[in-house]
Amino acid sequence: MNRELKKEQTRARIKEAALSLFSEQGYEPATVEAIAKQAGVAKGTFFNYFASKDELICDLQGLFATNEAAKLKDTPGPLVPRLQLLIFEIVKRFELNKPLTRALFQGMLGNGSSLVKHNELLGALSETLLPLVRQAQENGEIRKDMPAEMLAQQAFQTYFGTLFVWAMEAGDEPLATRMTMTFELFFKGIAPQ
Amino acid sequence: MNRELKKEQTRARIKEAALSLFSEQGYEPATVEAIAKQAGVAKGTFFNYFASKDELICDLQGLFATNEAAKLKDTPGPLVPRLQLLIFEIVKRFELNKPLTRALFQGMLGNGSSLVKHNELLGALSETLLPLVRQAQENGEIRKDMPAEMLAQQAFQTYFGTLFVWAMEAGDEPLATRMTMTFELFFKGIAPQ
Amino acid sequence: MNRELKKEQTRARIKEAALSLFSEQGYEPATVEAIAKQAGVAKGTFFNYFASKDELICDLQGLFATNEAAKLKDTPGPLVPRLQLLIFEIVKRFELNKPLTRALFQGMLGNGSSLVKHNELLGALSETLLPLVRQAQENGEIRKDMPAEMLAQQAFQTYFGTLFVWAMEAGDEPLATRMTMTFELFFKGIAPQ
Amino acid sequence: MNRELKKEQTRARIKEAALSLFSEQGYEPATVEAIAKQAGVAKGTFFNYFASKDELICDLQGLFATNEAAKLKDTPGPLVPRLQLLIFEIVKRFELNKPLTRALFQGMLGNGSSLVKHNELLGALSETLLPLVRQAQENGEIRKDMPAEMLAQQAFQTYFGTLFVWAMEAGDEPLATRMTMTFELFFKGIAPQ
DNA sequence: GATGAATGAGGGTTCATTCAT
DNA sequence: GATGAATGAACCCTCATTCAT
User: Domains, chain A, ranges and CATH?
Assistant: 1-50 (1.10.10.60), 51-189 (1.10.357.10)
Amino acid B1: pLDDT:
62
Whether residue A68 is predicted with pLDDT greater than 90 in this model: the reply is: no
Which residues in chain C are contacts of D160 at CB distance < 8 A? 161, 164-165
- Compare all CA atoms of chain D with the CA of C170 and give the residue at the minimum distance: D119
CA distance C130 to C121: 14
Identify nearest nucleotide to residue A36 by CA to C1′ distance.
E8
Straight-line distance from CA C163 to C1' F4, in Å? 46
The pLDDT confidence band at residue D14, using thresholds 50, 70 and 90, is very high
Of D43, B14, A84, D192, the C-alpha closest to C185 is D192
Of B12, B7, B96, the C-alpha closest to B56 is B12
Give the three-class secondary structure for C54.
helix
Q: What is the pLDDT of residues D27-49, one digit of tens each?
A: 988 999 999 999 999 998 999 99
Of C96, C86, C106, the C-alpha closest to C162 is C96
Q: What is the pLDDT of residues C134-185, one digit of tens each?
A: 988 988 899 998 899 999 999 999 999 999 999 999 988 889 889 999 998 8
Whether residue A69 is predicted with pLDDT greater than 80 in this model: the reply is: no
CB A161 within 8 A of CB A95: no
Chain C residues 92-121 within 7 Å (CB) of strand E: none
Whether residue C188 is predicted with pLDDT greater than 90 in this model: the reply is: no
Contact B182 A157 (CB under 8 A): yes
Whether residue A161 is predicted with pLDDT greater than 90 in this model: the reply is: yes
CA distance B6 to A192: 57
A45 contacts: CB under 8 Å, gap ≥ 6: A10, A36
Identify nearest nucleotide to residue C32 by CA to C1′ distance.
F16
Residues 44-103 of D with CB under 8 A from C: 102-103
Whether residue D75 is predicted with pLDDT greater than 80 in this model: the reply is: no
Name the residue among B106, B158, B168 with its Cβ closest to that of A106: B106
Straight-line distance from CA C50 to C1' F20, in Å? 21
Check CB contact of A119 with chain B, cutoff 8 Å.
Answer: yes
Amino acid C7: pLDDT:
87
The pLDDT confidence band at residue C1, using thresholds 50, 70 and 90, is low
Contact C181 D150 (CB under 8 A): yes
CB B186 within 8 A of CB B158: yes
Q: What is the pLDDT of residues C74-110, one digit of tens each?
A: 777 788 888 888 888 888 877 788 999 999 999 999 8
Straight-line distance from CA C41 to C1' E2, in Å? 8
What distances in angstroms separate CA A178 from CA A158, B156, C100, D177, one per listed residue? 11, 13, 66, 88
CB C162 within 8 A of CB C178: yes
What distances in angstroms separate CA C20 from CA A168, B169, C48, C120, one per listed residue? 56, 45, 20, 26
More confident: D46 or D76 = D46
Amino acid B69: pLDDT:
73
Give the three-class secondary structure for C42.
coil
Amino acid D102: pLDDT:
93
The pLDDT confidence band at residue D1, using thresholds 50, 70 and 90, is low
A192 contacts: CB under 8 Å, gap ≥ 6: A140, A141, A142, A143, A144
| pTM for the structure as a whole | 0.86
CB D158 within 8 A of CB D182: yes
Identify nearest nucleotide to residue A50 by CA to C1′ distance.
F13
Check CB contact of B126 with chain A, cutoff 8 Å.
Answer: no
The pLDDT confidence band at residue A156, using thresholds 50, 70 and 90, is very high
Chain A residues 46-65 within 7 Å (CB) of strand E: 47-49
Residue C156 has, within 13 A of its CA and on its CB side, a CA count of 27
The pLDDT confidence band at residue A153, using thresholds 50, 70 and 90, is very high
Amino acid C172: pLDDT:
85
Could you give phi then psi for residue D29, rounded to 5 degrees?
-65, -25
Could you give phi then psi for residue D9, rounded to 5 degrees?
-65, -45
Least confident of A141-155, B171-185, C78-92, C130-144: C78-92
Q: Tell if D29 CB is < 7 Å from nucleic strand E.
A: yes
Which nucleotides of chain F have an atom under 7 angstroms from any protein CB? Answer: 1-21
CA angle D72, D78, D83 (to 5 degrees): 50
Residue C162, number of CB atoms within 10 A of its CB: 27
Distance from CA of D42 to the nearest CA of C (A): 26
What distances in angstroms separate CA A30 from CA A17, A100, B164, one per listed residue? 10, 11, 24
The pLDDT confidence band at residue A110, using thresholds 50, 70 and 90, is confident
The whole-number average pLDDT for the span A145-160 is: 92
Amino acid D15: pLDDT:
93
C and A in touch (3+ CB pairs within 8 angstroms): no
Whether residue D74 is predicted with pLDDT greater than 80 in this model: the reply is: no
Least confident of B7-16, B24-33, C27-36, C91-100: C91-100
Q: Tell if C44 CB is < 7 Å from nucleic strand E.
A: yes
Which residues in chain C are contacts of D173 at CB distance < 8 A? none
Straight-line distance from CA B33 to C1' F1, in Å? 18
Q: Tell if D76 CB is < 7 Å from nucleic strand E.
A: no
Whether residue A1 is predicted with pLDDT greater than 70 in this model: the reply is: no
Amino acid D62: pLDDT:
87
The whole-number average pLDDT for the span A106-132 is: 89
Name the residue among C109, C157, C169 with its Cβ closest to that of D165: C157
Whether residue A5 is predicted with pLDDT greater than 90 in this model: the reply is: no
Q: Quick one: three-class SS letters along B44-97? A: HHHHHHCCCHHHHHHHHHHHHCCCHHHHHCCCCCCCHHHHHHHHHHHHHHCCCC
Identify nearest nucleotide to residue A54 by CA to C1′ distance.
F12
